[in-house]
Amino acid sequence: MDVYEVGGAVRDWLLGQPVKDRDWVVVGATPEQMLAAGYKQVGADFPVFLHPETREEYALARTERKSGHGYHGFEVHSAPDVTLEEDLKRRDLTVNAMARDAEGHLVDPFGGEQDLADRVLRHVSPAFAEDPLRILRTARFAARLAPMGFEVAEETMTLMRSMVVEGEVDHLVPERVWQETRRALHEARPRVFFEVLEACGALAVVMPEIASPLEVREGGLSALARAVAISDATEVRFGALSSKLEADTADAFSERLRVPNSCRDIAVSSAALPRWPRPLSADWVEKLIEKADAWRRPERFEQLLMVMEACGLDAQAAARVREARSRAAGVEPRALMKEGYQGKALGEAIAARRRQAIEQVVEGEADDA
């Protein structure tokens, strides 16, 4: 059997980028031979094995044949006579269809190295059109590699547009759309993911809520671009993306994509928050703290505030809001009880002292102690 390192690890090696995950293809082997060598089979749809020591994935070389709609509509063939080139040909982009042998020699039958040099994301073959998930993957790679100048090849963009027109994208299920979107939110330039989807027409199919009108899409993408510099939390980035939607639309968008509850909560709550005044007012800060449930859920409050920063709340104002919450949270019920407050009067005293702390900070009257 022959073993080759394939895919993203080879691409990143050629780009001089850190290699995080390594994948391997085994040519000329059977499942029985892999098991006899100590590998553990984990693939249900096709033979994938874990190395007994490194736990890295080793897949037997395979081909795929279209048998239905969507990304599940494939028949997989794996056998010892499947060649490395046949295995690489089923991959999405030329930059992901390269391999290295045991001596470190590059195997590049589809021009991936040249496309890396030209900063182009190009499909390997017309079979790209058989799997609509490849549109999302291409958009995500564009978001990852955009800082290095990569763009989607025009012929690939044309092919993706035809896939949208022919209805292939309609067969993508929400879970896979969210999976790729979540990963895209953590790429170097997440907004490029959505821009590529918009350019090929897929955004209106998979995420119509943010596709139009223009001010919703551009406003959300601008907020997302700012959120990247503020937080790496998925909740904050998704909240920024959804920030120009009405609360009920943000809720429907989150439900349809089946996003985690934490992301849905931040997206809907951000959309429902009142626009901040200029200058800040104690009334607004107090209302924000209450709506954000900041006393019980300070982390949620912080995420909402970061979404607001991504939407244009300046850093100085955000710092003042944080300080106001911190000062107000320092009001000690026990100290008030020692002063004789109890029952309803205690609750009123806590609210009054918190309000006083908020006013002092917002109006710039708090001391530095």
Query: H or E segment at 131?
Result: none
Of 82, 83, 65, 63, the C-alpha closest to 73 is 65
- The full 3-state SS of 135-177, as one line of letters, equals HHHHHHHHHHHHHHCCEECHHHHHHHHHHHHCCHHHHCCHHHH
Separation between Cα atoms, residue 222 and residue 311, nearest integer Å: 8
- Whether omega for the bond prior to residue 126 falls within 30 degrees of 0, making it cis, is no
What CA–CA distances, in Å, run from 56 to 13, 48, 80, 84, 101?
A: 17, 10, 21, 19, 16
Q: Is 340 annotated as a binding residue?
A: no
Of 146, 234, 238, the C-alpha closest to 196 is 146
Q: Token digits for 237? A: 């980035």
CA angle (188, 59, 5) in 5-degree steps: 55
Strand partners, 48: 59
Q: Is 11 annotated as a binding residue?
A: yes
Q: Is 140 annotated as a binding residue?
A: yes
Are the CB atoms for 31 and 57 separated by under 8 Å? no
Q: Is 21 annotated as a binding residue?
A: yes
DSSP secondary structure string for all residues of 243-287: TTS-HHHHHHHHHHHT--HHHHHHHHHHHHSPPPPSS--HHHHHH
Separation between Cα atoms, residue 24 and residue 55, nearest integer Å: 11
Largest CA distance in the chain: 86
Q: Token digits for 135? A: 């549109």
Q: Is 91 annotated as a binding residue?
A: yes
Q: Token digits for 205? A: 């199919």
DSSP secondary structure string for all residues of 299-347: HHHHHHHHHHHHTT--HHHHHHHHHHHHHHHT--HHHHHHTT--HHHHH
Separation between Cα atoms, residue 94 and residue 111, nearest integer Å: 6
Question: Helices 298-310 & 214-230, crossing angle to 10 degrees?
Answer: 120
Known binding-site positions for CTP: 8, 11, 91, 137, 140
Known binding-site positions for ATP: 8, 11, 91, 137, 140
Known binding-site positions for Mg(2+): 21, 23
Known binding-site positions: 8, 11, 21, 23, 91, 137, 140
